[in-house]
Amino acid sequence: MAKLKLGPIVDDKPVKVTVALPGPLHRDLTAYAEALARESGQTAADPVKLIVPMLERFIATDRGFARARRGSATMS
């Protein structure tokens, strides 16, 4: 199996956000949670708990966003 980009899910104090997901995306999140559980040897996490680490990973690895962020920080 390929190495997944996400690691174990860390609990943190949440900020409540309501999001409506398309059915296919929710099914993909469920499948990802199951794959992550198999890879880590843990029980499958609630698919909704994957959204935050996926967004964090996406933002952390988006080079265009990093450049834009650096550019706006130097202008402040």
For every residue of 45-75, which 3-state class applies, written as one string? Answer: CCHHHHHHHHHHHHHHHCHHHHHHHHHHHHH
The model's pLDDT over 21-75, given as tens digits with 9 standing for 90+, comes to 999 999 999 999 999 999 989 888 889 889 988 999 998 998 888 888 888 776 5
45 vs 2: which has the higher pLDDT: 45
pLDDT value at 1 more than 80: no
Per-residue confidence at 15, pLDDT binned at 50, 70, 90? confident
Q: Does the structure show a pLDDT above 70 at 10?
A: yes
For the cut 70, the answer to whether the pLDDT of residue 2 exceeds it is: no
